[in-house]
Homo-oligomer: A and B are copies of this chain.
Amino acid sequence: MTNTPLTRSEAKDLTRRRLIRAALEILDKEGEAGLTTVKVAKAAGIAQSSFYVHFKDKQDLLRALGDEGGERLRRAMREARRQAREAPTELESHRDTFRIPLDAISRHPELLRIQLRARHDPSSPLREFATETAKAYRDHHAADLAALGYTADNERDRRRLEMIAEGINAATNALAIGHIEGRYPEIEEAVDVLVALSRGALRWLRATQTGS
């Protein structure tokens, strides 16, 4: 194994990353209640008091976790999108709309779990992260709807599109969790279901767009 001839700031940065990594794992496995400076520091291999060399306080760590989580998620989405761009047909491209988030989530399941938990917890400092993440997914689906020519020119239609994007997003998350937990081994099967649900919404939009 290679030695560690690190400069001081490199070593500090490494420790900081170890702390964040450990914190994310503990957060995922034990929840926010189990996230203590004692456990995080120990898991990162330093003394509890040294935690404060890297973070002002626990709140500061949570903030960093939100940033890091968002960063990872955007990276995963970008990567999934990059792979999808090689998709040949237009049909495939529509399937991609659903495959991209599923792939991104599968890459970092802990982020979805943490997000879903924080989303409805008024006491969680990660709520901002959860809200932003949810918005990113919703925008993703809203962009898909817009690309298919479904736009809103009044309040009612705007609400409809938002509800559809939110519903599809929630279904995507639920199936992603099921996939992570092993109940739905095949991502393509989940994509099938999401495409079917989505088509129902689109058909309804078309049927009611010009009429009443």
Q: Which residues of chain A have a CB within 8 Å of any CB of chain B?
A: 29-34, 113, 116-117, 119-124, 156, 159-160, 162-164, 166-171, 173-175, 177-178, 183-184, 189-190, 192-205
Contacts and interface: CB of A to CB of B under 8 A. Distances in A.
Contacts of A167: 171, 174-175, 193-194, 197
Nearest to A118: B117
Contact of A168 (B119, B164, B171, B173): B171
B32 A33 contact: yes
A192 B162 CA distance: 13
A201 B193 CA distance: 7
Nearest to A134: B174
A182 B77 CA distance: 30
Nearest to A185: B159
A63 to B, nearest CB: 17
Given A196-B200, A200-B203, A189 B159 contact: yes
A159 to B, nearest CB: 6
A123 B174 contact: no
Copies in the complex: 2
A176 to B, nearest CB: 10
Given A34-B123, A117-B117, A163-B193, 5 more contacts: A163-B175, A193-B204, A195-B204, A196-B200, A197-B200
B196 A178 contact: no
Shortest 3 CB-CB distances between A and B: which pairs?
A200-B200, A196-B204, A31-B123
Nearest to A205: B196
A72 to B, nearest CB: 18
A193 B160 contact: yes
A139 to B, nearest CB: 15
Nearest to A123: B31
30 contacts: A29-B122, A30-B123, A31-B121, A32-B121, A113-B120, A116-B119, A117-B120, A117-B121, A120-B177, A159-B183, A159-B184, A159-B189, A160-B189, A160-B192, A163-B175, A163-B184, A164-B197, A166-B175, A167-B175, A167-B193, A167-B197, A170-B171, A170-B174, A171-B197, A195-B204, A196-B204, A197-B198, A197-B200, A199-B200, A200-B200
